[in-house]
Structure 1
Amino acid sequence: MIEIVIKQYLDSHLSVPSFLEQTGKMPDSYVLFEKTGSSKRNYLPSSTLAFQSYAESMYNAAKLNEELKEVVENMIELDEISNVQLNSDYPFTDTTTKKYRYQAVFDINHY
């Protein structure tokens, strides 16, 4: 499962914790991510993942988003990953919880 590889990498390289799902009380700043789609070409899997950077202010969410993008792009150093490409990133404030967040969407080819 590529999500496990990514979570382990994020947890050892980000300044904030990462999660695959919301749990009870979350920290003030964190990254939440999920696989939004996948495909296979020439027997090689590819996944689209959405990473949401949460923080107490829009400025800090934007800073965390920049840190996250650099860390995700550096995942190319892993043997399990053959390509990392930023699809898009944008402000994505959670109107339900009123929490500031940015979302970065990546296409990742993996084994």
Structure 2
Amino acid sequence: MMLAEKLVLDHLSQTLNVPVYMEHQAKDPQSFVIVERVGGSVTDHIHRVSFAIQSYGSTLLTACELNEKVKQAMDLLIESDSVVNLSLDSDYNHTDTSTKRYRYQAVYDLVLFD
């Protein structure tokens, strides 16, 4: 089975028209996406994995619009052979007050079978 982080990162990188990273860069672009695994477990070859996908934009509206594109892209991930189930747990304005960067966050739960 492909590493869950790589599966989501590669899928979003191929589907979205903005850079997708797993960590901030030395100089972040205006709009980009960060994929972060926030939990998971394995039972009998069934992997349950949670991801927080953060959409950054130069305005609150662009961050919100990018979040909508992320959700559309994530919905297509169910077509992957290793994805058994995919659900949006929540999505919300998650503006980073420490850096004063606009962002939205979508939290997904995936069930993968290896």
TM range (shorter): over 0.9
- What residue in structure 2 maps to residue 5 of structure 1? 7
1:43 Cα deviation (Å)?
3.2
- What residue in structure 1 maps to residue 68 of structure 2? 66
1:6 Cα deviation (Å)?
1.1
In structure 2, distance between residues paired with 1:80 and 1:28 = 33
> Which amino acid in structure 2 is aligned with residue 76 of structure 1?
I
Of the three residues 25, 28, 37, the one matched with 1:26 is 28
In structure 1, distance between residues paired with 2:107 and 2:7 = 17
Of the three residues 85, 88, 94, the one matched with 1:86 is 88
Alignment: residue pair count: 111
1:72 Cα deviation (Å)?
0.6
In structure 1, distance between residues paired with 2:4 and 2:82 = 8
- What residue in structure 2 maps to residue 110 of structure 1? 112
CA RMSD of aligned residues (A): 1.0
- Identity, % of aligned positions: 38
- The list of structure 1 runs, each at least 4 consecutive aligned residues, that deviate by more than 6 angstroms after superposition, is none
Secondary structure, counterpart of 2:70 in structure 1 = helix
In structure 2, distance between residues paired with 1:96 and 1:20 = 19
What is the TM-score with the length of structure 2 in the denominator?
Answer: 0.93
1:14 Cα deviation (Å)?
0.5
In structure 2, distance between residues paired with 1:104 and 1:42 = 28
What is the TM-score with the length of structure 1 in the denominator?
Answer: 0.95
